[in-house]
Amino acid sequence: MATFKDFRNNVKPNWCPGCGDFSIQAAIQRAAANTGLEPEQLAVISGIGCSGRISGYIQAYGLHGIHGRALPIAQGVKLANRELTVIASGGDGDGFAIGMGHTVHAIRRNLDITYIVMDNQIYGLTKGQTSPRSSEGFKTKSTPEGSIETTLSPLEIALSAGATFIAQSFSSDIKQLTALIEAGLNHKGFSLINVFSPCVTFNKVNTYDWFKEHIVNLNEFPDYDPSNRIGAMTKIMETGGLLTGLIYQDKNRRPYEDMITGFRPEGLANQEIALSREHFDQLMAEFK
């Protein structure tokens, strides 16, 4: 059986020392091993951004895609080979700015994919511009006088869009993060896991200390019920979206791929897809 070390490759991440993304990489590797996966059973599909590099740092199938397009690619991979476990990953810019349309529809489509957003509340790769996750008043090169836009709440949007699994974590809490990724991998449907992942180089506001001070762990509420959708929305709003833990899960809705009629359970790679002579002649006859 594979251990987390089997999900390591020999590519050295070029993230800045201290970047939150390192812990997310480690948590994915641990969660994959804990759920009994082998590297060849996993595909990690990422967008573009510092965070998007993650697909190159995990020993598994992988694709470093296009900015904002991790989810369309990941959904295609899952539909083509439902035997693969598919993780999509990228930054808050990738998923909640340019890719937001895909995110909302992937959530409501509910294919069995785990989507891990590395949320540093800034555009890291392009050297520090304001993202939809940046706070009002946030000063960067793109908003030198402070952002005058409202901060996007992806958790509220996900819940409204019909999400079946929503969790949030912090890259420093690797124990909680690993457990939530495991829960996402085990969930039959689309799992959104938003992870606060400090950008130590460009975001001097939302630092490790800032998150430690502001995060509200759902463990503090022993009566919290993640199957209660209204309760989940209330808690997200009450905490200003800064809660961590399993926020919402609907175990009853079936994933998209289970509901498509005529969709064969075995992956394309294992199907006999060559046309028989008879079938080929039938098709050709239609063009005569």
Ligand X SMILES: Cc1ncc(C[n+]2csc(CCOP(=O)(O)OP(=O)(O)O)c2C)c(N)n1
| Contacting residues toward ligand SF4, per CB under 6 A | 15-16, 19, 21, 50, 120, 124, 199-202
The DSSP secondary structure of 112-147, one letter per residue, reads SEEEEEEE-SEETTTTSEE-TTSPTT---SS-TT--
Closest to ligand X by CB, 93 or 241? 93
Residue holding tokens 């952002």? 147
Closest to ligand X by CB, 91 or 255? 91
CB of 134 to ligand X, least distance (A): 10
Give which of ligand SF4, ligand X, none residue 16 binds (C-beta under 5 to 8 Å, depending on kind): ligand SF4
Q: Is 91 in the site for ligand X (CB under 6 A)?
A: yes
Q: Is 22 in the site for ligand X (CB under 6 A)?
A: no
* b/e 141-176 (16+ beta carbons within 10 angstroms → b): eebeeebeeebbbbbebbbebebbbbbbbbbbbbeb
- Residue-level length of the chain: 288
CB of 94 to ligand SF4, least distance (A): 12
- Quote the distance between the C-alpha of residue 67 and its chain's center: 14
Q: Is 71 in the site for ligand X (CB under 6 A)?
A: no
Q: Is 123 in the site for ligand X (CB under 6 A)?
A: yes
Cα–Cα dist 94/66, whole Å: 9
Site string for ligand X, 93-112 (x = CB under 6 A): xx---x--------------
Give which of ligand X, ligand SF4, none residue 201 binds (C-beta under 5 to 8 Å, depending on kind): ligand SF4
Binding residue count for ligand X, defined by CB under 6 A: 19
* Candidate ranges 31-39, 56-64, 85-93, 167-175; the one touching ligand X (CB under 6 A): 85-93
Q: Is 249 in the site for ligand X (CB under 6 A)?
A: no
Q: Are 46 and 70 in contact (CB under 8 A)?
A: yes
The residues with which 104 forms a beta bridge, in sequence order, are none
What's the angle, vertex CA 254, arms to CA 253 and CA 258, rounded to 5? 165
Cα–Cα dist 117/197, whole Å: 9
Closest to ligand SF4 by CB, 200 or 233? 200
Cα–Cα dist 232/235, whole Å: 5
Closest to ligand X by CB, 193 or 232? 193
Binding site for ligand X (CB under 6 A): 48-51, 67, 90-94, 98, 118, 120, 122-126, 131
